[in-house]
Structure 1
Amino acid sequence: MARVKRGTTTRTKHKRLLDQAKGYYGRRKNTIRIARQAVEKAGQYAYRDRKVKKRAFRAIWIQRINAAVRQEGMTYGNFIHGTKLAGIELDRKVMADLAMNEPEVFKGVIKQAQDALAKA
């Protein structure tokens, strides 16, 4: 039976790994063992931070909405409750964008929320 030489497969694996480690500092970019650890850790950070990014953006949107709503004399919690009662189905991302870029339109949304709270 013929002898199997595994150089091609190993080189392919190593090349793929080193391509992923491109741009890293020091031996992390050109030593297989260290590059493998660095790439695995980078993958763990990327996975975790995709979730964290969603949390961070939601927190930013809430802060922006809260700042805009407080200028009109309401709290964030009362405003959200009022939008639910009024049947306004805008998400926080859209409301934060309105608060920053279209303040007059956002004041209309606040007015609707205040009216719904007054009726309840």
Structure 2
Amino acid sequence: MARVKRGVTAHAKHKKVYKATKGHYGRRRNTIRIAKQSMEKAMQYAYRDRKNKKRTFRALWIQRLNAAVRPFGLNYSKFIDGLAKAGVTVDRKVLSEIAIAEPAAFAAIVEKVKAALPQQKAAA
């Protein structure tokens, strides 16, 4: 049986690791054992942070909406409650974009929400 030389395969595998660790510091970039560990850890962080990114952006949209509805005498939770009662099915991402880019349109949405909410009694 003929001898199989695996230099080409090994080199290709190493190249893939080195490409993934481009930009890492020191031996984490150019020594295969350490580069492989570095790459695996980086991929774990990337997987985790793809999930966290969604969480972070949702929190940002909520903060923006809360800040946008305060001048209208509402807070975020009342605004979301009013949206549901008014039958407005626009998500938080789009609402925050509207609040920034189209203040007049956002004001119209807020008025619709206020109309759907039960009126508060005035403090005596």
TM exceeding 0.5:
yes
Write the letter of the residue equivalent to 2:72: E
By relative contact order (CA 8 Å, sep 6+), the higher-ranking structure is 1
Kindly state the Cα deviation for residue 118 of structure 1 after the two structures are TM-superposed: 2.8
Alignment of 1:9-28 (within 5 A): 9-28=9-28
Unaligned runs of at least 5 residues, structure 2: 120-124
Alignment of 1:1-120 (within 5 A): 1-118=1-118
Distance 1:20 1:65 in 2: 39
Unaligned runs of at least 5 residues, structure 1: none
Provide the identity percentage.
56
Kindly state the Cα deviation for residue 71 of structure 1 after the two structures are TM-superposed: 0.9
Distance 2:103 2:72 in 1: 11
Number of residue pairs the alignment of both structures matches? 119
Report the TM-score when normalising by structure 1: 0.94
Write the letter of the residue equivalent to 2:42: A
Query: Alignment partner of 2:117: what SS?
Result: helix
Distance 1:9 1:116 in 2: 67
Query: Alignment partner of 1:118: what SS?
Result: coil
Runs of 4+ in 1 over 2 A off after TM superposition: none
How far does the alpha carbon of each residue in 1:66-99 deviate from its partner, in whole angstroms, 9 at most, with x for none?
Answer: 0111111011111101011111011001110111
- Cα RMSD of the aligned pairs, angstroms, is 1.1
Distance 1:55 1:68 in 2: 20
Kindly state the Cα deviation for residue 111 of structure 1 after the two structures are TM-superposed: 0.7
